[in-house]
Amino acid sequence: MHNAAFAALDMNWVYLAFYVDPLSLRSVLRGASDMGMVGINLTVPHKILALDCVDEIDAEARKLGAVNTVSMEKGRLHGFNTDGYGFLKAIKEDFTCLSRASEC
């Protein structure tokens, strides 16, 4: 999905998946930033561990106690969490669809 979007937008970017040992998360994030990556998505068990690995934590990530997205800018790691927003958006769309079943 991500790579298809990058191609459609004629962006010279690529989305890759890596196995990362949880004990190496801090050095992997720093290394990714040093290599010029612009962002990383995280999943369990890294979401909670990332709170201690980033330079700045978004208010939503702090509230949820987890980081699922890290952006890298000028050597700084910024932690975000899009899970809550995505979950609420999906619920709203599903309930809107259910309330207007003939339109879905």
Are 78 and 53 a contacting pair, CB within 8 Å? Answer: no
Please report, to the nearest 10 degrees, the dihedral formed by the alpha carbons of residues 45, 86, 13, 50 taken in order. Answer: -30
Distance of CA 95 to the CA centre of its chain: 25
Q: Which of 47, 63, 89, 92 is catalytic?
A: 47
Active site residue 47: yes
Residues marked as catalytic: 47
